[in-house]
């Protein structure tokens, strides 16, 4: 199975107070750098959705900016379909780790997300047309609405704990580990 990795990085970081994708960890690398590095071993290629990053393949949210994570996912699904990938494995720019156990648990025959971390997901590229229809409808563009629409599998793995950076204190705790 050909997997495309997609780092969803188009958020406004409103809870964080500044652009968290560019926040630095003690090694001098950004959260975004860590997210790209973490997902890379599990996929054939990686794209960044929702922002421009020099030296990376970057996709503009589809069909328009400011659509939340579904805009980035939609761009990744279409890119995957156009480039011959079977599916997309996603992570958020604020998720600096992606253990093998997570990739193994998500990849399957239908869409799946990690319980409590809906940006850690597996999405067949064949969902691109369905995502277009979903985003064209009058809805709140919630990832939960999308998961319900497609009957995504929720992976409940309490043994897989991912740091997720939403507030400056979350980053401080990660820096002090």
Q: Where are the domains of the chain?
A: 3-175
Q: What is the pLDDT along the chain (177 residues), one digit of tens a residue?
A: 999 999 999 765 556 555 777 777 778 888 899 999 999 999 999 999 998 888 999 999 999 887 889 999 999 999 999 999 999 999 998 889 999 999 999 999 999 999 999 999 999 999 999 999 999 988 777 899 999 999 999 999 999 988 877 766 766 666 655
Residue 8, annotated as binding a ligand = yes
Cα–Cα distances in Å, from 21 out to 30, 80, 138, 151, 169? 7, 23, 30, 30, 15
- CATH superfamily membership of 3-175: Spore Coat Polysaccharide Biosynthesis Protein SpsA; Chain A (3.90.550.10)
Q: In this predicted structure, what is the pLDDT of residue 11?
A: 64
Q: In this predicted structure, what is the pLDDT of residue 132?
A: 94
> With contact defined as beta carbons under 8 Å apart, do 56 and 48 qualify?
yes
Residue 55, annotated as binding a ligand = no
Q: In this predicted structure, what is the pLDDT of residue 177?
A: 54
Q: In this predicted structure, what is the pLDDT of residue 23?
A: 76
Residue 94, annotated as binding a ligand = yes
- Regarding pTM above 0.85, the answer is yes
Cβ-based neighbours of 117, under 8 Å, separated by 6 or more: 95, 162, 164
Residue 84, annotated as binding a ligand = no
Residue 9, annotated as binding a ligand = yes
């Amino acid at each position: 199975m050909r997997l495309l990795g997609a780092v969803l990085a188009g958020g406004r970081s409103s809870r964080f107070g500044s652009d968290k994708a560019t926040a630095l960890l003690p090694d001098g690398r950004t959260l975004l750098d860590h997210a790209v590095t973490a997902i890379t071993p599990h996929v054939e290629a990686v794209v960044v959705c929702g922002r421009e990053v020099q030296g990376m393949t970057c996709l503009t949210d589809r069909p328009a900016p400011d659509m939340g994570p579904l805009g980035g996912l939609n761009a990744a699904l279409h890119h995957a379909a156009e480039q011959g990938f079977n599916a997309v494995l996603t992570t958020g720019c604020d998720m600096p780790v992606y253990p093998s156990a997570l990739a193994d648990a998500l990849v399957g025959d239908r869409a799946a997300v990690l319980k409590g971390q809906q940006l850690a997901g597996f999405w067949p590229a064949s969902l691109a047309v369905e995502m277009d229809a979903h985003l064209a409808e009058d809805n709140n563009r919630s990832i939960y609405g999308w998961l319900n629409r497609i009957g995504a599998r929720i992976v409940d793995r309490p043994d897989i704990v991912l740091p997720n950076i939403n507030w400056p204190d979350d980053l401080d705790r990660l820096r002090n580990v």
